[in-house]
Amino acid sequence: MSSGDGVDAGAVRRPPGPADPVERLLKEYPELGALGVDWLRTWAPRAGRQIARMARVLRRYPWMAELIGQGPVSLVNPYSVEAYVSRDGSEACISLFGGWAYCSADGSSVRRLELEFKGLEPHEGRVREIYRPKRLSAFAKAKEYIRIL
């Protein structure tokens, strides 16, 4: 039987289907907008966890999202993105293609460093990678960076 408004009273209402995974990612992590919807559609089905990890780093360091938005993001593979933080937490770095990392304390002045692997060290029951600037300069004191992504 029908209730006079054209809706079947016996019909079971189903929740709407799953939202578009890219829309869901952008809703949860607006920072990913810097990567672009097309890039997210390409990579989200294959690298969803890595993209979520990237989003958490971008949320913590918003200047990185701005930096990514300025470059040719379409060339970036989510597994080639690396992020580092200095031991004292005063500075963070992002590397999009390997080799060079862009480092800053707050995004106001970004400098380019070439980081090299120094070694592994135990930390809270896990192992973490430690990096140092390849060429020490007046700007790149003997800081060490811990890979966070």
3-class SS of residue 69 = helix
41 vs 1, more confident? 41
Q: What is the pLDDT of residue 58?
A: 95
Percentage of the chain lying above the pLDDT 70 cut: 81
CA torsion sign for 28, 32, 34, 38 is: negative
CA distance 95 to 101: 4
| Contact indicator for 29, 55 with CB cutoff of 8 Å | yes
Q: What is the pLDDT of residue 29?
A: 94
**Range with the poorest average pLDDT among 53-57, 73-77, 93-97, 105-109:** 73-77
**Range with the poorest average pLDDT among 27-31, 33-37, 74-78, 86-90:** 74-78
Q: What is the pLDDT of residue 54?
A: 94
pTM over 0.85: no
Instruction: Report in angstroms the alpha-carbon separations of 134 from 57, 75, 112, 117, 141.
Output: 24, 25, 11, 9, 11
Q: How many CB atoms lie within 10 A of CB 68?
A: 23
Sorting pLDDT into bands at 50, 70 and 90, what band is 7?
low
Structure tokens at 11: 């019909």
CA distance 70 to 54: 17
CA distance 116 to 55: 24
